[in-house]
Structure 1
Amino acid sequence: MPYVTQDYYLNTFHGEPVINADFLSLLMRAEEIVEEMCMYRLTLSAFHEMEERIQERIRKAVCAQIEYLDANGGSEIDNGIDLQSAGLGKFNYAKASGVSGSTQQSIYAPRAQRILASTGLLYRGGDCY
């Protein structure tokens, strides 16, 4: 059983519409990425043992990751293919080079990271003195 359903994505999260045929593959990729983002502390079995408020944040993070993947070329973003320029009607997008000259886009949705920030699942260890 996945972390979210298409019904949850559309009617509770109110995510941007995704083509029905693409939803399952985006969901599976988003779940993999969120688990990776959480350094694999997140699994379906662990999810069911978590507090409801943490479960809800995980659901929202998966949905945010689905939106991000869909808006940025689907699974292509995870394959290292980087868009340089695109246009559709009035919308035009050109990716600028970073400081190091790299144009590699993060596979992690910034919104998903913000949603998960208060869960402790992003904590990488080390003490603060």
Structure 2
Amino acid sequence: MADSSVAQTINERIEAVKKVVNLIAQAGRGGDLHDLRVLLINTMSLLKRDPGLEAAVDDLYAAAEALVKDASSGTPPNTRSLRLLLSALDRFCTRLSTAVDRIAPEPELRLKGLEAAYAVQLERFSMNADLNADLDPVGQVA
């Protein structure tokens, strides 16, 4: 049985993914697709590898990406695309819920793969923001 804090965190992630997927289904914005990617990567980093769950993540992201691609080209999402997205979301949520009960969390929090790259990108962004805050409007150090 999974630790209750891990189960609570996973349930919070499931709700967040549902919200982002609903935003993608309504508006099809690229920013929402980016948010979905970050959520999925972060969620997967909480658990040990599970090929079934990884396949569900891949399907969900591919369905969301196709919908965003259609929206960005000016094509309204068709019923099939929406149905694929929602069924992929359902599979992901089901797999993730069952995975919590049978997969132990990683013994230590490690940043892996894309999540590590994203963390580095965030760190660089925050360093640049700090550097820009130290500059006066003319671009000179205050």
* TM-score, length basis structure 2: 0.30
Larger Rg: 2
Compare the two structures and name the one with the higher strand fraction: 1
* TM-score, length basis structure 1: 0.33
